[in-house]
Amino acid sequence: MSRLPSIGSSVQLFGVGCEGCGHFSGIFSVLAVQDDETTALVVDPEVIQCEGAVDANNFGPMRIDWDPVLQCWEAQCSGHHLVVKLGGHFCGPRLGERPAARPG
């Protein structure tokens, strides 16, 4: 079963898909956790490494949202879609649910 991090804990994030910006990885502290109608985290970078055009100095607090349809964490980077992997066992609140069988 998946488990969300708590406020004040540190998590490892990997971000891919920021159009033209490259990708990043790093350690982020958890500033806020929301788990009601939507599941989201607000994280702030502690240590970050970037590849591509993105500059680590431009990172600040970032909101990442769980997409239950795509089963992945997502964020926005300058208005562009970014897929984020949350390291460890934080894989989203509904990952343990099995999708309904497709009619044959």
DSSP 1: -
**Residue 61 domain-assigned?**
yes
Residue 68: what pLDDT?
Answer: 83
Residue 35 near residue 3 (C-beta atoms within 8 A): no
**Residue 67 domain-assigned?**
yes
**Residue 24 domain-assigned?**
yes
Residue 84: what pLDDT?
Answer: 87
- Across the chain, mean pLDDT equals 77
CB atoms within 10 A of CB 17: 15
**Residue 71 domain-assigned?**
yes
Q: In this model, does residue 28 exceed pLDDT 90?
A: yes
- Classify the phi-psi angles of 69: left when phi > 0, otherwise alpha if psi is within -120 to 50, otherwise beta: alpha
Residue 30: what pLDDT?
Answer: 95
* Own/partner pairs, 70-75, CB within 8 angstroms, 24+ separation: 71/95, 75/15
Domain that holds residue 64: 10-86
According to DSSP, the residues that pair with 83 across neighbouring strands are 16, 74
Give this prediction's pTM. Answer: 0.75
